[in-house]
Amino acid sequence: MEFRMPLIGEKFPEISAMTTMGQISLPEKYKGKWFVLFSHPGDFTPVCTTEFYSFASKYEEFKKINTELIGLSVDSNISHIEWVNWIKEKLGKEIPFPIIADSLGNVSKALGMIHAESSTSTVRAVFIVDPNSTVRLIMYYPLEIGRNISEILRSIKALQMVDKYNAVMPANWPYNELIGDKFLNKPPSNISDAGEVLKKYKGYDWWISYRDSPEEESKEAKELFKK
């Protein structure tokens, strides 16, 4: 196995791994869907437990936007299963997605999940992969800080809008401070097109213009990412 993490825009590497729900092959298992592979430092730890509770709580929201979840750590499958059962029994939350048992660390190393912070634990990595098996977004969090699950959900929806409408998305979309839920246009690449931009769209200059987002898409996004 090649130990080089995939980069944004590259194909997600082919991986076969044991999980709490049996053997899976990535990215083949989720071809045609978006998926989020996220690593956590360890089972039976406080921050990771809160993250898994949050991921499970928002699982149906991920499903609504054609997205699956897969967890991963270097713990054994027995440990994963025991922890999942503990979360269900003590916290009343069922974990509805698989967790990869990477006890040898091969998958973690291949994906660049082992950092200088710890030579044995995975950092909190997030890989967002599209239906064509292309890596679209990578996030890393340190051991001490839990992820914002809503931001992961928002990022996927924003990427889907980029693909569907050939747009670029503003900060904090769909609640941007300048243009609200509207889409930004890609800047023109020649002088002729630059002179036409503000005749077609609202904007602040030829390189920063925007257009209305479709009403249904905007409504759906605001429902997913309520402030």
If we measure between CA atoms, which residue out of 68, 127, 70, 73 comes closest to residue 101?
73
Return the residue matching tokens 């025991």: 82
Under 8 Å between Cβ of 60 and 69 = no
Asked whether the beta carbons of 213 and 161 are under 8 A apart, the reply is yes
Q: Where are the beta strands (DSSP E) in 123-199?
A: 124-129, 135-141, 183-184
CA distance 217 to 194: 28
- Tell which residue, 35, 28, 27, has the closest CA to residue 62: 35
DSSP annotation string for 65-88: TTEEEEEEESS-HHHHHHHHHHHH
- In contact, 114 and 122? CB cutoff 8 Å: yes
Instruction: Name the residues annotated as catalytic.
Output: 48
Residue linked to tokens 């300048």: 178
Which residue, among 67, 68, 34, 71, has the nearest Cα to 49 in the 3D structure? 71
Contact present, 105 and 1 (Cβ < 8 Å)? no
